[in-house]
Chain A
Amino acid sequence: DQQVKQNSPSLSVQEGRISILNCDYTNSMFDYFLWYKKYPAEGPTFLISISSIKDKNEDGRFTVFLNKSAKHLSLHIVPSQPGDSAVYFCAAASSGGSYIPTFGRGTSLIVHP
């Protein structure tokens, strides 16, 4: 049973607009969340993380929002750029589980010029 769900396999956005990628989780023990970006033929790279003690974390154009009651997090990219076109993986981990991350299936983001 999927514990981390990314229900949108793909997302298409115009350059300059906002990209919003969503992620839901079912395990209430998860208390650390991460987003990774993956280009073709490369390994995933870490983008941004958030601890459950926060509801927002910002790093440049990237902001992650966490709604613990809804077990939902989202990644906002503003403004979106063509170089942001990649697959984005949401991951969740538990401090009680040695922080071993569980990944979602990924969302493919395409940013059109």
Chain B
Amino acid sequence: DAGITQSPRYKITETGRQVTLMCHQTWSHSYMFWYRQDLGHGLRLIYYSAAADITDKGEVPDGYVVSRSKTENFPLTLESATRSQTSVYFCASSVQGNSPLHFGNGTRLTVT
């Protein structure tokens, strides 16, 4: 089915572990984004990508790494997970800059 999918939906990991959240979109949208949602903070941008092999930092990039070797995939890696990275992570895509974002259903990550 066309759309944007995130996996896994739920993940529990331990402090210090590396974890990768996956995001895949079937629209061939140029732009892709990673946001985290925390109580009291709303949605905060972690990283975004304007095209394959082009990525840029958002508001809260520390502790995260992204890559975009293919247009349709935009994985987010936590190199050494910390408890402060417990959050709900949303991936999104848009066809161009001034287009609305299409969000995935999120990954709830718990770091113990």
Contact = CB atoms under 8 A, between A and B. Distances in A.
B11 to A, nearest CB: 15
Interface stretch (A12-20, A43-51, A56-64): A43-51
Given A100-B45, A105-B41, A46 B101 contact: yes
A43 B43 contact: no
B42 A103 contact: yes
The 10 A-B residue pairs with the shortest CB-CB distance, nearest first, are: A43-B103, A99-B97, A105-B42, A46-B100, A103-B43, A99-B98, A98-B97, A43-B105, A44-B103, A103-B42
B92 A89 contact: no
Interface core residue of A34, A44, A102 (most chain B CB under 10 Å): A44
B84 to A, nearest CB: 18
B106 A43 contact: yes
A32 interface: yes
Contacts of B103: 36, 43-45
A42 B97 contact: no
B104 A89 contact: no
Interface core residue of A89, A95, A100 (most chain B CB under 10 Å): A100
Interface of B: 33, 35, 40-45, 48, 50, 58-59, 90, 92, 96-106
A36 B37 CA distance: 14
Nearest to B94: A99
Given A98-B50, A100-B48, A103-B35, A44 B97 contact: no
Interface residues of A, number: 23
B91 to A, nearest CB: 8
A98 B55 CA distance: 13
Contacts of B42: 6, 89, 103-106
Contacts of B104: 43
A41 B6 CA distance: 13
A29 to B, nearest CB: 14
A49 B101 CA distance: 11
Contacts of A32: 98
Contacts of A101: 45, 101
Nearest to B92: A43
